[in-house]
Structure 1
């Protein structure tokens, strides 16, 4: 049961800005609350526009000189430190986000993977060599490519749903490429970002290469987007804010990883036990707060009844509640307003003809795993991105209809497909308008190294993942010479 908000937590943290090696406190602060207990778990400094400008100036004035070996060593050392402190770090994620200990420990493992892959990529030469005498008018020359850090500063803005891993996916490629970054983490979960930065400083990172500015995005956001010394903006978050960033950024590079409305498509030849396992895991892991969570279950009408029964049975067994209890698979969503939104959308769908099979119970930010069937594609619960533990089931009659429904939203991030027919699987791979198609896996499956990103309202087509981010965060220069 959720307790009343009565006091600060026992491990309350008062945090400062991280500016060029200094911890800068301010008179104003932002409070961070545990979504489950309601207790205040920390307060972070609120940066003014002037302090943000100071951070950008520090970054712009610094010229990193770390060798590849030194960059790799820092990232490897940070991974080792984080593994040693995984219990403490995951406790912090759980406290400020409401994610279960299962999910927060898993997140720490993913962060260590990002650090490890980043270290590995640093040690791999990323240049190419081209011969020029390939045509009758060619010359005996070579073209050598080099990747160099940006001249200006990288501005990074991260969301609440993966408080440390989303930060790692911005910060690690920046370090790997000898860039300088000013990070503004979500005001809902800033403590994990500051913790991660401190681990990197301890591992040997020069502080000017990563500064952390916390504050109200309405106050400092525009300056971060428009400052003349910012060369690149990398953002993960909602579509509305992403499009606003695009409108403000002007002539500078932007990498936008936005929302998703990902389907899990279950064909009539699927192993329904396996498919329903994927459906439930994909819907409720991380409290359903993943851009790649299963947001829509598209199920062939021939197996919809049996599949739905399995999903309901497994949903009712999904353990949720106090996120600090290691036995619980799911904690809260980020806050009470988010939980209320899910409740409203589910009630609206039921009023429009959907059938509630289990769930839709809410206590403050705690929202029960929820299953709906008889859902139509035009209902808001599936037309919009419902960023929580809701499993809407839509039926279809054939592959053409499944593809039409899957492609029938503004989003195009990821998808999962459950079929044993390779001709059907390849049709989905070719015809779904998404960045990823996973056969017999949840839409969100990937490793931290591989390309990740979407199209349409899910992003501009630029990819995240360590390798692709390294490309985005660098300028490619060619050097030619006689050969």
Structure 2
């Protein structure tokens, strides 16, 4: 794999500030993780350019009607669906995700746009009567939601190059807000592509500006600029906690990591459960905060379940991300793949058994299954953000709940059981934001609430409806009635 080749469809990007494309003296190389080719460059913004973006955003007063916002979002969705092949190829080129995964992501992004368009039309205000108690009055209280007074800073990660961006941008557009977006410097091309799609659909460029650069130079300005009213961030726990400490008196929405279990009880359909296990572990190269990070399996069925998972893992095709027959491409870069290999080697040295995988070539890392894993091993105590399937056994539902809750994270979970009593206990007792019965931990639609607790986030939810609530101020108006 050559690291000096340049892609034929090379994209040299520019900052999107105030409707202009601004070139910068410095740029960040964006490379295909599989081939090493340079697929593009992203501009490195200066502090002055970031400040200019905020100044322009703050000075602009959005006047789009609900109908106009909805029309823009629906048009962008239609344009994106028409360009699925082009857009998915861009995602695959810069992230190494398989074409299967990137095509699926484009569908999700279009869903976000359509859901946002629908929500823009929906007035979610409330009306309260005040004559409800002996000392009440004959009045009504009417609530309305208004855009923020300042600007939204959005910071997105690498694992879903366009969908993570959509989940920040679409609710902002739907609510007539102004946003300055900084996508991951590892996958910036998809974010610029998405912004251009919205401009083409009619979005005033002052409502969405995109900057990229060295986080060491511009990150603090994104958090502390005097115009920032809200910071929405998806990414790792250390950076999330840094943002929380740095933001001061500002609203923050943090969607952080996960260490999500798939819990398989002794009554489970093991064929169905093992399907969920491998899909939840390896789709998107395992790079999802809601991927199956731990498989907690009842000791009575562990041997048979493990055998099925190993067989299905061996059948999971991985390799060239552009080959549509492959189920999985690379992880984000060689450093990440090396980290996964080190974690698995450490677990094996501590007594775990490697059953398949742990092979690496550059950023290509094979789907991997371990059993005889103990909860204190780093591979399951921390978030292993890649295609690794560690299997932990338990003897009772009490033990399963204790192991599941025994990490710093609290994002999602998947449950495989047909006993309603057990499913109900899991729903009540797992300390997570989501419990999915007979589904992978990550199952949701783009509209529904999503988020975690503990080190997985502050409890604020994403999903189009919940993000709209976070991105608006609630005002009440009372009148005689």
TM over 0.5: yes
Could you tell me how far apart the structure 2 residues matched to 1:367 and 1:467 are?
36
Q: For 1:213-362, what aligned pairs fall within 5 Å after superposition?
A: 213-362=211-360
Cα distance in 1, alignment partners of residues 124 and 194 from structure 2: 27
| Counterpart position of 1:88 | 86
Measured in 1, the distance between the counterparts of 2:222 and 2:395 equals 49
* Residue in 2 that maps onto 1:98: 96
In the TM superposition, 1:384-399 aligns within 5 A as: 384-399=382-397
The C-alpha deviation readout for 1:176-228, integer Å capped at 9, x for no partner, is 00000000000000000000000000000000000000111111000110111
Where does residue 203 of structure 2 map in the other structure?
205
Q: Deviations over 1:294-331 (max 9, x none)?
A: 00000000000000000000000000000000000000
Q: What is the CA-CA distance between 1:6 and the residue it aligns to?
A: 3.0
Match of 1:430 in 2: 428
Q: Which residue of 2 aligns with 1:38?
A: 36
What is the match of residue 53 of structure 1?
51
| SS of equivalent residue, structure 1 residue 160 | coil
Write out the 4+ residue segments of structure 1 that deviate beyond 2 Å after TM superposition. Answer: none
In the alignment, which of 427, 436, 452 is matched to residue 450 of structure 2? 452
For 1:7 and 1:228, the matched residues in 2 are separated by 43
Deviation at 1:84, TM superposition (A): 0.5
How many residue pairs were aligned? 481
The correspondence of residues 7-46 of structure 1 with structure 2, limited to 5 A, is: 7-46=5-44
The CA distance in 2 between the partners of 1:442 and 1:450, in whole Å, is 16
1:153 corresponding residue in structure 2 = 151
Look up the match of 1:75.
73
Q: How does 1:349-428 map to 2 (within 5 A)?
A: 349-428=347-426
Match for residue 116 of structure 2 among 115, 118, 123:
118
SS of the residue corresponding to residue 293 of structure 2 reads strand
- Partners of 2:216 and 2:385 lie apart in 1 by 23
Aligned pair partner of 1:478 in 473, 476, 479:
476
Residue 5 of structure 1 and its aligned partner are, at CA, apart by 1.8
Q: Give the match for residue 170 of structure 1.
A: 168
SS at match of 1:294: coil
CA offsets per residue over residues 214-251 of structure 1, 9 Å max, x none? 11111100011011110000000000000000000000
Aligned equivalents of 2:150, 2:407: Cα separation in 1: 37
In 1, Cα distance between equivalents of 2:60 and 2:235: 29
Which stretches in structure 1 are left out of the alignment for 5+ residues? none
Shift of 1:125: 1.0
CA distance in 2, matches of 1:86, 1:164: 12
